[in-house]
Structure 1
Amino acid sequence: MMTRLGPLDLRNPVILASGLQGDTPEKLKAAYDAGAGAVVTKSVTIQPRQGYPEPRFVKLDNGWINAIGLGNVGAKEFARQLGTPTYPVIVSLAGSDPSDYTSMIGMFDGVAAFEINLSCPCVDDFIGDVPLLAADIIGAAKSATDLPIFAKISHTMYKSVDVFIRAGIDGITAINTIPAMGINIKTRKPLISNVQGGLSGPPIKNIAINTVNKLSKLYDVPIMGCGGVSSWRDAAEFVLAGAVAVQVGSAAMDDLSVLGSISEGIEAWRLSSNT
């Protein structure tokens, strides 16, 4: 089931979302082999980051809270590890200055696209809070490559997308995790070291669908729906809201085979309904 995502042609519309399940080339390849149409890396930064101390990732009854703090080996080292992939890899980039992005983009060979992380909920003073700075970064990224540039936004940023479109963005990923907190009532301490983390999984699905629906009515731009997709029925809801593809994160943490089953299910649904 070929899918057109802006200028990209993918074998299906199910994409591994950026996260811990994509922090090594081996994990990315495993996700693609499990049935994803493309895979997004964990966000990388211009310099290595240690991230927040443990605990920083906690499973809830029906979702996850995480605050990794953008911990990563740095773009240069990750690019070296990745090499030239033979499958569609979208590299997630995070930074605070346009020059960071132009430098990082130049480090990667043979990737399919880049996704600019405008909305990490666990890092202070993130660029998505300043739409004009985000637009400058998008413009700088566009000038550094002919590859597609996508932007990952929060559920509160949909009104800023017109600025990103004018800067040349090729597509939008909606949404990122939502700021949240949990407390262990036995220890009386927060569940994660950073106190606030990002909530993901089924609890945010309907917020994500609502955001995709708003975006699709306001803008003519390809949308990847992300947030709580764990079945083909979830994916179908995002498609009906206006998404051309979906990203799967938390569900893939438990079982990578969900990527293939969602792809198969959404194809069967489309064939049966002529969607």
Structure 2
Amino acid sequence: MTRIAVLGSTNMDLVAFVRRAPRLGETVTGREFRTVPGGKGANQAVAAARAGAEVSMIGAVGSDDFGARLRAGLADAGVDTGLLRTVDCPSGTAHIVVDDDGGNAIVVVPGANATVTALSPDDEARIAASDALLLQLELPLAAVIAGAEAARRHGVRTVLTPAPAQPLPHELLALTDLLVPNEHEAAELTGVADPRTAAEELLRDVPEVVVTLGAAGALYAARGARPVTVPARRARAVDTTAAGDTFVGALAVALGEGRPVPDALTWASAAASLSVRRAGASSSMPYRAEIDAL
């Protein structure tokens, strides 16, 4: 079984469903409200666990009710939460508006996530015992770099999702084995709108890149190899929240199992396709049998 460590955020998603998102200064009436466990780190952990990996979550939740629910949700998904700290402050939250086309707008308040600035010896030991480390940018950058350094020391594959998009220091890129931006993040990182050209630019800093393209699928590029594009599965989108995290979690599992890149991309795209057909973040993520069936 593939062993995956996730160093990342854990948030409670506060989701309002509306016909259309409000413009600046405007108030609209929603039709439904839900609280759903989320956070990019936790989402990727749940996605990988449901896809069949042995997953450990490294991060922090608050000492509030949200924290207890977040921990329980991860445990229910089969994620090891032994290294998920509880700190004396509010848990992280994500305030999400989802429109009738499945699009979303999100404001993240880090809360407890902001306290994760370094690794403990137990954190590093868990990373060392893993096949891959999944990283995102909803924790302080110092912790992300520390995780990538630990993975490199122990020969563990590092998969970085550069979201929320921000300038990436060279030291982090130098420690990244696989970078997985969406097309907007790739454009922001490179200043290039075309995903294929942006991927080529990113290969100057990292050996492998997957650019997710939403309904158009995913593009894989590696140094010295021809790019590979895999189309997305057709799906009527109900809520696209966490589709990218579902893709990354499933991709890490497929690559950890030694699948060829085109097969791994196709399998991960199927997982993402299933997730957008359901509302919510972690609640929308498919199980391995569902991915295989699709």
Please state which band the TM-score falls in when normalised by the shorter chain: 0.3 to 0.5
What TM-score do you get using the length of structure 2 for normalisation?
Answer: 0.42
